Structure 1
Amino acid sequence: MKKTLTATAIALALTATGFAAPAMAAGKITVSSPQDPGSWDPIDTFLINWASLATNVFEGLTYRGPDMELVPALATSWETLDDGTRIRFTLREGVTFHNGEPFNADAVKFSFDRLLGEEGAKGPQQANYTSIEKVEVIDDTTVDFHLAQADPVLLTKLAGYGAMIVPPQYIAEVGDAEFNNNPVGTGPFKMTSYSPKVGASLVANEDYWGGAPNLSEVDYRFISEPSTALAELQSGGVDVVIPPSVPVGMIPTIEADDNLEVISTGGPTVTALRFDTSRGITADENVRKALIMAVDRGAIVDTILAGQASVIASFQGDRSFGYDASMEPLPYDLEKAKAMLKEAGVEQGASVEINTRGNDATFNEVAQAVAAYLGMAGVNATIKPYETNVLLNDIIPQGKTGEMFQQSWGGWTFDYDNTAYAMYHTGQKWNPYDSDADLDALLEKQRPMTDRAEREKVLQEIAAYAADRALEMPLYNMNAIYAINKRVQNFEPAPDNRLRLDKVSVE
């Protein structure tokens, strides 16, 4: 298989996806983001709130925009060789990092040696790229990726997160700790300041290879409380509020303001209450199924979420590769749930703890509803919220949750492997409790498969297996909901929150 793009095709692709822009930048916008990622190093993070900013600072060899099409970025073309175990990339010439350092094949090799080495092992991204055996420099504008096995999702992975290309000389000079706080990339905006838990400022990269952005400045403010973010939007303190900081209940208020609008698009984010399968009443598979059947997920979507979501049967949405449209969620059946709990020996008044992200106002309403439904089944559910970073970086990975815990997952590749491997494979950060050799084997089986149809069957088998074991209570696939000031023009909502702002302008 070979993919080669002509100069004309590349120019058209770049224009269509927002890389081309007018020569001079003007205007400023302020974006409210609900979380400070804590580090701007691409190999340190999995957070969509990192990507909503850093997609403007860093670039990969490929790029996938809101239209979901994969196009060239720092690579102009690529070809797959040796039965899929070698990919040759031709690199874009004349590109420089924000510090003036040249982008070239050495920078690509450095970035992946770092990702796959000791430094990358400290973060959560390395596991996504283990199919890469080594990166070989052919010449200044050509690199070969040698793969241990074919990876059908690799080209998409190269468009985000850990695969971003970083500057070797700068990192050697300043060290990893400094790079975390003062990142340098090749993107359309440069970061000029970062105040932890407060915000970050970007300015236009006037020398950007795709043309200078329309905007001269972008400020990001880290506002964890959705009510505060929306108050700032109403007062003009921010221009854009990104998901998940737009509670569904606030949509009518936003739409009633002549200066504001809501933009919603189908996204990858799925939400579930995952179970501690190692102890307590949720160690019993039949109890887990009973708890799922005790909750009317359809009513939650229709009422609390105002139809801005869809009920899911597995931990993925209908745009995910691996989605099985014939798979049905466990039905809401309160009486059967009660009977199953009784048969399993669960006493009336048994308790479970539900852990949530404290700043997720919408989900905390959902959690209250879930607790009420469980109460009708005779199970006393208490809700314990955590600050998001604490829940994600300490409580879940260290196996310190209650019986049920919130897991919202972006699955930004729109490929079920990106979710399933992280959630279900033994030893993964997001799987602190469960180990299933049969499930591990299925997860490993599909990763090198190049036959798309056969791989899809295995992914569907994984979804059915996880559902049969009731490893989580699948809740819903949420739309990505943005709220913006109407002075913001040419804003294109990203389904995966990975905003590109270089085509945005202001009135």
Structure 2
Amino acid sequence: MQYRNAALPAVALLAALAAAPAVAETTLTIAAMTSPSALDPHYHSTNNNNMALQQIFDSLVEEANSGELKPRLAASWRVVDDLTWEFKLRQGVQFHDGTPFEAEDIAFTLERIPNVPNSPGPFTPYARSIKSVEVVDPLTVRIHTHQPNPFLDYDLTRVLILSRKIHMDATTSGFTSGKLAIGTGPYRYRSFVLNERLSLEANPNFYGAKPAWDRVETRYVSSAGSRVAAILAGEVDLIDTVPVQDVKRLQADSRITISGTDSYGTAYLFPDSGRDQVPFITDKQGKPLARNPLQDRRVREALSLAINRQGIVDRLLAGQGTPAEQFAPPPVQDRARGLPPLATDIERARKLLAEAGYAEGFRMTVHGPNGFFASDSDVLQAIAQGFNRIGVETQVEVLPPANFFTRATNRDFAMFLTTYTANLAANTLRQVAMTRKTETGAGPFNRQHYSNPAVDGPLEEALRTMDPARRLQLTGQSMTALVEDKGVIPVFYLRVNWAARKDRITYDASPNWYTSALYAAPVQR
């Protein structure tokens, strides 16, 4: 897939928008940072894909911004027993082309999820516990699981439902072309150009409340300055990923409303500790090392100690974040309790490197995305400066998100910086830190193939434990083991901000950092 840079100079962006034909009063215009990589709802589980596609497709259950689970295609649901959940379906729902939504579509969708070719971030864990789907009657399905799954309703918020009649032989390219971008959601596909724009229109036959907008025009603009210039000029209604240095300035502007929230997202470093040899690490003379230093827990601890997390939050994020002490932020209810802050200690870091046999340090390149979250490139540079202070000569290489995630999935990097977002710590651990297992779908985002029985054991039990107190204890044990081992190295928790035209819209800030027409409401005049 060829990447096309979406960054435009502010003047060029404004000129392009100004040259566009007049649109209806109920058109929502958005300048968003990151384009979806495809329109296949089961291809890549990442925020930029999911937030775009939830406007077109529907799940059985919806996760509201409050964290509450609400009905979507399922009107209601209940636990029948530890291995059985029953879902009552909405009546009269149609796909955008008029095809009826049927109970059999649920089984079809769940069967498709593990079979999407070349997925860089599979949705498999969300279906991993499901043994079978029983159609009781046209409006009732029972989902039977292999083992107890206390998170099944949450899992199903991430599964967008397809039609077995429309999508039986669907390919990812068929969705991205628009031909198969047919869902039951409140908005219908009009056009899509990768890294440039997505155009949607209201679904006149939507089963729920009438969509707030007749049309939704999203332009993908990786340049933060261009997005800010567009909102200040009144050429767009909403921008996402407001640059941290501009938050206070825009808050003081009487024309603009800032909507922000502490997110479910954690920015973290992922070292490759599983291989004897890794790319992008050498000695100080550029020669290969006998062994990968990241395999030594003392080296990973030293790198963590070299990071000035509070300085990153204060100086690079202008306070729009929080230093991380584990791999789940404070809004996540099942995070570990009582973990201490992650220290910064340069002298201790140097001693640990020496104990591990790297008193002279080594060379390393750290990778990350450019234009995926606020100040991502600057944060990576600050981390590299800390590593240099302890004798690890570190270079930084940033890539466009689509290229970055493809290469990270291919395990091309020694260490990389990215984010993960989920409102359950157990799910974050399952997706990112659990040992990869194709048969269960565990660890789809475990791109460095990390494996630690002290993480896996308690988590496996937590994922089948219906008792909330016991489950919380087990999840905490797993999280504590991961933090102590530095299998991933948490850096900070993201606060996310949107800027909107005060006279046009209000925006309900999403802790999942979703930019979506579903959260934008017209100002009542």
TM-score tier (shorter): 0.7 to 0.9
Residue 491 of structure 2, aligned match among 437, 460, 475: 475
Deviation at 1:235, TM superposition (A): 2.7
Kept in 1, the 8 Å contact 2:500–2:506? The answer is no
Q: Secondary structure at the match of 2:469?
A: helix
**Mean alpha-carbon deviation: is it higher for 257-266 or for 453-462?**
257-266
Q: Which amino acid aligns with 1:288?
A: R
What does 1:330-349 correspond to in 2, within 5 Å? 330-348=342-360
Q: Secondary structure at the match of 2:211?
A: coil
Alpha-carbon separation, structure 2, partners of 1:248 and 1:47? 22
Deviations 1:320-345 (A, max 9, x none): 24312310133112222222222222
Kept in 1, the 8 Å contact 2:243–2:375? The answer is yes
Residue 264 of structure 2, aligned match among 264, 268, 281: 268
Unaligned runs of 5+ in 2: 1-23, 278-291, 437-442
Alpha-carbon separation, structure 2, partners of 1:234 and 1:140? 51
Partner of 1:18: none
Alpha-carbon separation, structure 2, partners of 1:275 and 1:197? 29
Q: Secondary structure at the match of 2:395?
A: strand
Residue 366 of structure 1, aligned match among 379, 384, 391: 379
Partner of 2:281: none
1:32 aligns with 2:31: yes
1:424 aligns with 2:433: yes
Kept in 2, the 8 Å contact 1:114–1:120? The answer is no
Partner of 1:197: 195
> Quick one: structure 1 residues 442 and 325, their matched pair in 2 at CA, closer, same or farther if it must change by over 3 Å?
closer
Q: Which amino acid aligns with 1:36?
A: S
Alpha-carbon separation, structure 1, partners of 2:199 and 2:515? 15
Partner of 2:166: 170
Deviation at 1:356, TM superposition (A): 1.2
1:289 aligns with 2:301: yes
> Quick one: structure 1 residues 174 and 148, their matched pair in 2 at CA, closer, same or farther if it must change by over 3 Å?
closer
Deviation at 1:97, TM superposition (A): 1.2
Deviations 1:252-282 (A, max 9, x none): 3323433223211111010011212134322
Q: Secondary structure at the match of 2:263?
A: coil
Q: Secondary structure at the match of 1:493?
A: coil
Kept in 1, the 8 Å contact 2:93–2:101? The answer is yes
Partner of 1:391: 404
Q: Secondary structure at the match of 1:43?
A: coil
1:51 aligns with 2:50: yes
Partner of 1:184: 182
Alpha-carbon separation, structure 2, partners of 1:209 and 1:301? 44
> Quick one: structure 1 residues 196 and 134, their matched pair in 2 at CA, closer, same or farther if it must change by over 3 Å?
same
Kept in 2, the 8 Å contact 1:37–1:45? The answer is no
Q: Secondary structure at the match of 1:300?
A: helix
1:92 aligns with 2:90: yes
Kept in 2, the 8 Å contact 1:115–1:121? The answer is no
Alpha-carbon separation, structure 2, partners of 1:494 and 1:450? 28
> Quick one: structure 1 residues 90 and 26, their matched pair in 2 at CA, closer, same or farther if it must change by over 3 Å?
farther
Kept in 2, the 8 Å contact 1:312–1:476? The answer is yes
Residue 407 of structure 1, aligned match among 418, 422, 445: 418
Kept in 2, the 8 Å contact 1:480–1:496? The answer is no
Partner of 1:147: 145
Q: Secondary structure at the match of 1:201?
A: strand
Alpha-carbon separation, structure 2, partners of 1:284 and 1:31? 46
Alpha-carbon separation, structure 1, partners of 2:381 and 2:124? 36
Deviation at 1:181, TM superposition (A): 3.1
Deviation at 1:477, TM superposition (A): 0.8
Kept in 2, the 8 Å contact 1:321–1:456? The answer is no
Deviations 1:357-412 (A, max 9, x none): 1224512212222222222222221111111111112x21221113x21021112x
Kept in 2, the 8 Å contact 1:120–1:126? The answer is no
Deviation at 1:499, TM superposition (A): 4.7
Partner of 1:355: 367
Kept in 2, the 8 Å contact 1:55–1:499? The answer is no
Deviations 1:146-196 (A, max 9, x none): 111121111012122xx1111222224876532343211111111111122
Partner of 1:19: none
Alpha-carbon separation, structure 1, partners of 2:390 and 2:99? 63
Alpha-carbon separation, structure 1, partners of 2:40 and 2:515? 17
Partner of 1:5: none
Q: Which amino acid aligns with 1:157?
A: D
Q: Which amino acid aligns with 1:415?
A: L
> Quick one: structure 1 residues 174 and 202, their matched pair in 2 at CA, closer, same or farther if it must change by over 3 Å?
same
Kept in 1, the 8 Å contact 2:324–2:493? The answer is yes
TM-score of the superposed pair, with normalisation by structure 2: 0.85
Partner of 1:505: 522
Q: Secondary structure at the match of 2:517?
A: coil
Alpha-carbon separation, structure 1, partners of 2:379 and 2:516? 31
> Quick one: structure 1 residues 121 and 363, their matched pair in 2 at CA, closer, same or farther if it must change by over 3 Å?
closer
Q: Which amino acid aligns with 2:472?
A: E
Residue 324 of structure 2, aligned match among 276, 291, 312: 312
Alpha-carbon separation, structure 1, partners of 2:253 and 2:229? 12
Q: Secondary structure at the match of 1:382?
A: strand
Kept in 2, the 8 Å contact 1:268–1:316? The answer is yes
Q: Secondary structure at the match of 1:504?
A: strand
Instruction: Tell me the number of residue pairs that the alignment of Structure 1 and Structure 2 aligns.
Output: 473
Residue 224 of structure 2, aligned match among 226, 229, 234: 226
Unaligned runs of 5+ in 1: 1-24
Partner of 2:13: none
Alpha-carbon separation, structure 1, partners of 2:68 and 2:505? 22
Kept in 1, the 8 Å contact 2:363–2:393? The answer is yes
Deviations 1:35-86 (A, max 9, x none): 22222222112111122222221111111211211111111111211x3211
Partner of 2:456: 440
Partner of 1:377: 390
Deviations 1:207-231 (A, max 9, x none): 2111212211111112222222222
Deviation at 1:26, TM superposition (A): 5.3
**Mean alpha-carbon deviation: is it higher for 213-222 or for 368-377?**
368-377
> Quick one: structure 1 residues 172 and 377, their matched pair in 2 at CA, closer, same or farther if it must change by over 3 Å?
closer
> Equivalent pairs: percent with the same residue?
26
Alpha-carbon separation, structure 2, partners of 1:400 and 1:323? 30
Segments of 4+ in structure 1 off by > 6 A?
Answer: none
Kept in 2, the 8 Å contact 1:442–1:462? The answer is yes
Q: Which amino acid aligns with 1:355?
A: H
Alpha-carbon separation, structure 2, partners of 1:173 and 1:343? 57
**Mean alpha-carbon deviation: is it higher for 70-79 or for 431-440?**
431-440
Partner of 1:461: 477
Kept in 2, the 8 Å contact 1:272–1:407? The answer is yes
Q: Which amino acid aligns with 2:253?
A: D
Alpha-carbon separation, structure 2, partners of 1:229 and 1:490? 18
Alpha-carbon separation, structure 2, partners of 1:268 and 1:330? 19
Q: Which structure is higher in helix share?
A: 1
> Quick one: structure 1 residues 173 and 384, their matched pair in 2 at CA, closer, same or farther if it must change by over 3 Å?
closer
Kept in 2, the 8 Å contact 1:397–1:429? The answer is no
Q: Secondary structure at the match of 1:158?
A: helix
Quote the RMSD (CA, aligned, Å).
Answer: 2.2
Q: Secondary structure at the match of 1:30?
A: strand
Deviations 1:92-135 (A, max 9, x none): 1121111111112122232223225x348956001221111111
Kept in 2, the 8 Å contact 1:135–1:145? The answer is yes
